[in-house]
């Protein structure tokens, strides 16, 4: 192609990706069927070719991806002055099958030319297509114009081997050169999604205890994408979740429930409910309390697994929707979301908070061991729910050799976990002044349930060490339930305080914080509970731990 030499001298034009608003780009006959809710997009908007070539003829094309439900209504190409002859536009599959075609009529001398398909081609979400239009004597081009992704709404170009050409007209082009943009384009119409996902299958109750139950199911499918699931007691919504599991808490003990699950998609369509599972929730004595949790029933040791025998996971970022089992994972990356980590040894090399959350979906870590890479950790080195908008669950996890147990600001559950042997912030692990929290919330108002855990950080020192810290360092916090735990702290065991940063203003915690039926190791340096702000929502049935008594109930601890 003789024009390719010119590409070495021509720069790429600055591009922009704006939603197609000016209806002049759409044929009048299509406009007649539109209303204000319709959405139409082109791949390219303000871009025009940098140079033109006069060799050929060629079949020229663009690879692109569609991310939402819709249909291709038109094919477009940019015509340079001097181009003549008949032009045919084609839509191809990524493998080279013709899916739709149209011959252009009524063309102008130059600029964007548009041909409307006789029947719109309905696309599949998250699928790659190729649009081509032949050239005869002239064509426009911009070298490296497709080197980076071009995105406009649900349309985006593919990076790598894009800007395709071929010397046989009407044949699938496969040649590429310098990611050249030949300005072949489509008009895409977003369609309303009215199709519901398939019904969740194989719903299974994995644990039933006094105030809750755990369940899982096989994923549903959808014509676009499943975005989450709703769990019901018959028709009453219990929880909305993002993964293929749910940890329901807040049930009434010894009560009949009819559990059903429905899948949902981005358009709000709900599947038919799964077959009901009729179950009676556990009695108040069922399940393990925090004072019964130790290395025989939490973490890898609770499953009889020697962490040193686990093979190293080498896959890097864990793919969305995956379950990773029986691996050693160094520097866990669950940012893809909807991920289950099961019976794994998770080693963090971070010196500060490291993320266990995702904007893309929920994360469940169960029956695993989380620890630092060795030696003393800094105070901030701990699993941290970042970002906050999807659920995180720790179930029967052991956490050790970290600067802290966990810091969760979003919707989350920590249950039946063993958190101990946390070295804190420098110095002698047994010395005074080592600041380490077994658990903490420093921002967020989504419900945090810390249930039936053994959290003991006494080994890190006694001056500024707490089993659970409630401090609105980064913003208002609320909606915390601490129930059924065994807590051990060196200074205050539980501390709740407002926070005033340099320059203010003061940040506060709310009054929906409940501390109920917990046990506390005796002998903290300062006390069992410290509040420096509003009164808590509730302080009930909390006792000094005494294994000699029923329910480990020693001396009752009164609210200060």
58, 61, 182, 183, 386 from 133: Cα distances, Å = 9, 6, 9, 9, 46
Say if strands 70-79 and 175-176 run parallel, antiparallel, or are unpaired: unpaired
Backbone angles phi, psi at 357, to 5 degrees: -110, 180
412 three-class SS = strand
Please report the pLDDT score of residue 434 as a whole number: 61
pLDDT for the residue numbered 31: 31
Helix-, strand-, coil-residue percentages of the chain, each rounded to 5 = 5, 40, 55
d(CA 379, CA 3): 61
- Which pLDDT belongs to residue 29? 33
Please state, in angstroms and rounded to a whole number, the distance separating the CA atoms of residues 192 and 180: 34
- Taking alpha carbons only, the member of 293, 462, 536, 478 closest to residue 394 is 293
Looking up tokens 């970290």 gives 402
pLDDT at 38: 60
Instruction: Classify residue 408 by its DSSP letter.
Output: -
CATH of domain 40-190: 2.60.120.820
At 124 the pLDDT is 87
At 427 the pLDDT is 45
> Smallest Cα–Cα separation from 126: which of 72, 172, 180, 70?
70
Residue labelled with tokens 């800094």: 378
Specify the pLDDT at position 253: 93
Token pair 């913003």 is at which residue? 475
Select from 3.30.1490.20, 2.60.40.10, 2.60.290.11, 3.40.50.12780 the CATH code of 201-286: 2.60.40.10
- Sequence-ordered list of residues with C-beta below 8 angstroms from that of 471, at least 6 positions apart, any chain: 440, 441, 442, 477, 495, 496, 497, 499, 509
Nearest to 450 by CA among 501, 421, 498, 487: 487
Nearest residue to 200 (alpha-carbon basis) of 228, 159, 169:
228
Task: Label residue 312 exposed, middle or buried (CB < 10 Å: 0-12, 13-18, 19+).
Answer: exposed
User: Token match 């469940």: residue?
Assistant: 364
Can you give the pLDDT at residue 531?
A: 87
- Note the pLDDT of residue 478: 95
Cα distance between residue 493 and residue 511, in whole Å? 19
What's the token pair of residue 30?
């299509």
Largest CA-CA distance found in the chain, in angstroms, rounded: 96
Which pLDDT does position 504 carry in this prediction?
80
Which tokens is 60 given? Answer: 């020229």
pLDDT of residue 462: 64
Sheet holding 480-483, edge to edge: 323-325, 339-342, 363-366, 392-395, 412-415, 448-451, 480-483, 513-516, 538-540
Residues 6+ apart with CB under 8 A from 373: 347, 348, 349
How far apart are the C-alpha atoms of 413 and 140, rounded to whole Å?
57
> Taking the model in full, what pTM does it have?
0.73
- Integer Cα distance of 39 and 18 in angstroms: 12
- pLDDT on residue 374: 53
Q: How far is CA 448 from the centre of its chain?
A: 18
Cβ-based neighbour number of residue 271 at 10 Å: 21
What pLDDT, on a 0 to 100 scale, did the predictor assign at position 350?
84
Rg (CA), the chain: 30
Element (H, E) at 242: none
What is the spatial distance between Cα 542 and Cα 485, in angstroms, rounded to a whole number? 10
HEC sequence for 442-476: CCECCCEEEECCEEECHHHCCCCEEEEEECCCCCC
pLDDT in the model for residue 36 = 38
Report the pLDDT value the prediction gives residue 491, as an integer from 0 to 100: 81
pLDDT, tens only, 108-150: 999 999 999 999 999 988 899 999 999 999 999 999 999 999 9
Could you read off the pLDDT of 202-261 as tens digits, one per residue? 999 999 988 899 999 999 999 888 999 999 999 999 999 999 999 999 999 999 999 999
* Cβ neighbourhood burial of 427 (10 Å; 0-12, 13-18, 19+): middle
Cα separation, 297 vs 397, whole angstroms? 10
The full 3-state SS of 273-341, as one line of letters, equals CCCCEEEECCCCCCCCCHHHCCCCCCHHHHCCCCHHHCCECCCCCCCCCCEEECCEEECCCCCCCCEEE
Mind listing the pLDDT tens digit of every residue in the chain (560 residues)?
433 323 322 333 233 333 333 323 333 333 323 333 468 999 999 999 999 988 889 999 999 999 888 999 999 999 999 999 999 999 999 999 999 999 999 999 999 999 999 999 999 888 999 999 999 999 999 999 999 999 999 999 999 899 999 999 999 999 999 999 999 999 999 988 888 999 999 999 999 988 899 999 999 999 888 999 999 999 999 999 999 999 999 999 999 999 999 999 988 999 999 999 999 999 888 889 999 999 999 999 999 999 999 999 999 999 999 999 999 999 999 999 999 999 999 999 887 788 999 988 899 999 999 998 754 555 567 899 988 889 999 999 999 988 889 999 999 999 999 999 887 654 444 444 467 889 999 999 999 999 999 999 888 766 557 899 999 999 999 999 999 999 998 888 999 989 898 888 999 999 999 999 999 999 888 889 988 888 889 999 999 999 999 999 999 999 87
φ/ψ (deg, to 5) at 558: -85, 150
Scan for tokens 């006069």, then name that residue.
54
Residue 285 φ then ψ, to 5°: -95, -5
Say if CB 410 and CB 357 are below 8 A apart. yes
Residue boundaries of the structural domains of the chain = 40-190, 201-286, 288-424+435-559
């Amino acid at each position: 192609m003789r024009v390719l030499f010119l590409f070495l001298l021509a720069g790429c034009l600055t591009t922009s990706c704006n939603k197609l608003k000016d209806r002049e780009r759409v044929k009048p006959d299509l406009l007649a069927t539109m209303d204000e809710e319709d959405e139409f997009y082109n791949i390219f908007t303000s871009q025009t070719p940098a140079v033109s070539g006069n060799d050929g003829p060629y079949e020229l094309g663009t690879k692109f991806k569609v991310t939402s439900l819709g249909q291709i209504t038109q094919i477009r190409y940019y015509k340079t002055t001097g181009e003549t002859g008949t032009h045919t536009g084609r839509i191809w599959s990524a493998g080279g099958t013709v899916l739709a075609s149209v011959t252009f009529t009524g063309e102008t001398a130059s600029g964007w030319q548009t041909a409307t398909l006789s029947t719109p081609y309905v696309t599949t979400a998250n699928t790659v297509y190729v649009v081509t239009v032949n050239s005869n004597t002239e064509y426009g081009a911009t070298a490296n114009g497709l080197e980076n992704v071009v995105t406009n709404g649900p349309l985006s170009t593919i990076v790598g081997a894009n800007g395709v050409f071929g010397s046989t007209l009407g044949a699938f082009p496969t040649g590429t050169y310098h990611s050249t943009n030949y300005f072949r384009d489509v008009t895409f119409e977003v369609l309303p999604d009215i199709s519901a996902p398939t019904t969740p299958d194989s719903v299974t109750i994995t644990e039933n205890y006094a105030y809750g139950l755990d369940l899982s199911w096989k994923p549903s499918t959808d014509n676009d994408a499943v975005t989450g699931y709703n769990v019901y007691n018959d028709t009453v919504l219990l929880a909305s979740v993002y993964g293929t599991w749910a940890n329901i808490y807040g049930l009434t003990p010894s009560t009949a429930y009819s559990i059903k699950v429905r899948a949902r998609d981005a358009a709000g369509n709900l599947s038919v409910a799964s077959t009901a599972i009729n179950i009676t929730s556990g009695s108040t004595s069922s399940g393990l309390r925090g004072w019964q949790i130790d290395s025989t029933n939490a973490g890898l040791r609770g499953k009889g697994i020697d962490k040193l025998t686990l093979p190293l996971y080498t896959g890097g970022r864990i793919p969305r929707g995956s379950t990773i089992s029986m691996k050693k994972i160094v520097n866990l990356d669950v940012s893809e979301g909807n991920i289950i980590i099961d019976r794994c040894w998770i080693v963090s090399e971070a010196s500060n908070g490291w993320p266990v959350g995702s904007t893309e979906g929920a994360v469940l870590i169960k029956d695993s061991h989380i620890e630092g890479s060795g030696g003393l950790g800094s105070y901030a080195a701990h699993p941290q729910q970042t970002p906050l908008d999807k659920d995180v669950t720790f179930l029967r996890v052991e956490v050790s050799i970290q600067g802290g147990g966990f810091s969760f600001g979003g919707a989350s559950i920590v249950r039946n976990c063993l958190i101990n042997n946390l070295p804190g912030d420098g110095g002698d692990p047994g010395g005074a002044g080592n600041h380490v929290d077994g658990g903490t919330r420093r921002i967020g108002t989504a419900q945090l349930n810390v249930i039936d855990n053994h959290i003991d950080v006494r080994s890190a020192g006694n001056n500024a060490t707490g089993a659970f810290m409630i401090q609105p360092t980064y913003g208002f916090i609320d909606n915390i339930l601490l129930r059924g735990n065994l807590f051990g702290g060196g200074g205050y065991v539980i501390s709740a305080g407002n926070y005033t940063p340099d320059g203010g203003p003061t940040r506060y915690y709310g009054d929906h914080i409940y501390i109920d039926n917990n046990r506390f190791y005796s002998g903290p340096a300062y006390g069992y509970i410290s509040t420096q702000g509003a009164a808590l929502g509730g302080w009930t049935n909390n006792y000094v731990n005494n294994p000699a008594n029923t329910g480990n109930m020693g001396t009752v601890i009164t609210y200060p």
